[in-house]
């Protein structure tokens, strides 16, 4: 079986991305699963290797075909965007522009069929905006760059998977945006993703918006009945094992103990909170609905510890493994 080529975008170069990439590429078992290729700045990767104290050599290449994919070497399509003294731990337009261009190059390679998946190190939204790219995050940027009208964010942690109906918008805006069609399309993406992952008849739990799922109209203004119930009933009519809307507090407990294969969360914090409690170090962010596989770490740029060599690479390693597994299944 041919190992998939995974493009690793370096993220915001002032954050922990370069360090967790170099730490991850020191793991020999990763190369048994995939062929990793960094899209970034070779000089920054060398600096990160020195900071974390590993012996992985950085090997600049211009094209995918030049990469050797050998353990002990980090193949890097070197965009050479950064000044030699680029600081760690600071927001800057230069960092935001670099992060954007790493992603844009990875998308080009994916569209051309030269890579099998993208795995992203974290970016900083303030830096991205300062560079003139007003995206809320990676998910929306990737959707725009690939011309995809609608995608979903899925988070995976040990014993829990969550897909989101809405993500990077305020709570009042999220409630306004939620409607039966969007909820049903999100359930569809959850179902399809689970089937591709080898779960033939997935059990899907759908969160309510209000406490106690509205308590028969006691809480809220009938949002569950108006916005969620039609989507759940439509899926049930197709013979799918979908339950909801269910109170989020008990639903996440039941999902963690194994009653459901995936949870459909209505808004950002409803889904992110339980995932991060279950294991932020091994959490993975997967964008569902793109024409290319994309996974990411489930943490930010961590400017407070960037450049200190102490960032934990476990989420990056798990994101790479998930990307490799998904790419192998698709191929």
Q: Evaluate whether residue 137 is within a structural domain.
A: yes
Same domain membership, residue 216 and residue 251: yes
Per-residue pLDDT reduced to its tens digit, 187-227: 999 999 899 878 999 999 999 999 998 888 788 899 999 99
DSSP state of 225: I
Q: What per-residue confidence (pLDDT) applies to 275? A: 87
Same domain membership, residue 144 and residue 241: no
Split into its structural domains, the chain has a count of 2
Same domain membership, residue 248 and residue 204: yes
3-state secondary structure (DSSP) of residue 37: strand
Tokens representing 85 are 């003294």
Report CA-CA distances (Å) from 147 to 57, 143, 294: 36, 6, 15
Same domain membership, residue 144 and residue 46: yes
Q: Evaluate whether residue 280 is within a structural domain.
A: no
Q: Evaluate whether residue 278 is within a structural domain.
A: no
Same domain membership, residue 230 and residue 217: yes
DSSP assignments along 165-224, one per residue: S--SS-HHHHHHH--HHHHHHHHHHHHHHHHHTT-SS-EEEEE-SSGGGGTTTTSSSSHI
Same domain membership, residue 25 and residue 139: yes
pLDDT, average across residues 242-251: 96
Same domain membership, residue 226 and residue 189: yes
State which residues form the domain around 303: 5-148+293-330
Same domain membership, residue 259 and residue 135: no
Q: Evaluate whether residue 287 is within a structural domain.
A: no
Q: What is the value of pTM for the model shown?
A: 0.86
CA angle 158–162–165, rounded 5-degree value: 165
The kind and range of the H/E element at 36 are strand 35-40
Same domain membership, residue 158 and residue 141: no
Give the domain CATH number at 105: 3.40.718.10
Q: Evaluate whether residue 288 is within a structural domain.
A: no
How many CB atoms are located within 10 Å of the residue 27 CB? 16
Answer yes or no: is pLDDT of 328 > 80: no
Q: Evaluate whether residue 32 is within a structural domain.
A: yes
Same domain membership, residue 229 and residue 190: yes
Q: Evaluate whether residue 196 is within a structural domain.
A: yes
Same domain membership, residue 190 and residue 104: no
Same domain membership, residue 222 and residue 251: yes
Alpha-carbon gap, residue 98 to 120, rounded angstroms: 13
Q: Evaluate whether residue 246 is within a structural domain.
A: yes
Per-residue pLDDT reduced to its tens digit, 152-174: 999 988 889 999 999 989 999 99
């Amino acid at each position: 079986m041919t190992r998939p080529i995974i493009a690793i975008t370096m993220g915001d170069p002032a954050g922990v991305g370069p360090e967790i990439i170099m730490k991850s590429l020191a793991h020999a078992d990763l190369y048994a699963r995939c062929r990793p290729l960094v899209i970034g700045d070779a000089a920054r990767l060398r600096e990160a290797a020195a900071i974390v104290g590993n012996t992985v050599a950085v090997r600049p290449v211009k094209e995918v075909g030049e990469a050797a994919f050998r353990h002990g070497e980090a193949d890097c399509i070197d965009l050479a965007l950064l000044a030699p003294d680029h600081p760690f731990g600071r927001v800057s337009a230069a960092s935001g522009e670099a992060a954007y261009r790493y992603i844009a190059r990875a998308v080009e390679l994916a569209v051309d069929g030269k890579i099998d998946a993208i795995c992203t190190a974290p970016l900083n939204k303030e830096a991205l905006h300062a560079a003139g790219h007003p995206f809320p995050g990676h998910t929306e940027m990737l959707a725009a760059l690939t011309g995809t009208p609608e995608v979903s964010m899925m988070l995976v942690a040990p014993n829990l998977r969550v897909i989101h109906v809405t993500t990077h918008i305020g709570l009042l805006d999220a409630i306004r945006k939620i409607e039966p069609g969007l909820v049903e399309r999100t359930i569809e993406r959850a179902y399809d993703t689970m089937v591709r992952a080898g779960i033939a008849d997935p059990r899907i739990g759908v969160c309510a918006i209000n406490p106690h799922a509205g308590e028969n109209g006691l809480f809220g203004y009938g949002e569950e009945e108006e916005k969620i119930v039609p989507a759940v009933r439509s899926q049930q009519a197709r013979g799918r094992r979908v339950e909801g809307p269910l109170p989020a507090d008990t639903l996440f407990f039941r999902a963690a103990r194994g009653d459901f294969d995936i949870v459909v969360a209505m808004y950002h914090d409803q889904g992110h909170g339980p995932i991060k409690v279950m294991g932020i170090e091994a959490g993975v962010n997967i964008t569902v609905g793109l024409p290319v596989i994309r996974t990411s770490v489930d943490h930010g740029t961590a400017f407070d510890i960037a450049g200190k060599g102490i960032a934990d690479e476990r989420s990056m390693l798990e994101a790479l493994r998930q990307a490799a597994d998904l790419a192998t299944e698709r191929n």
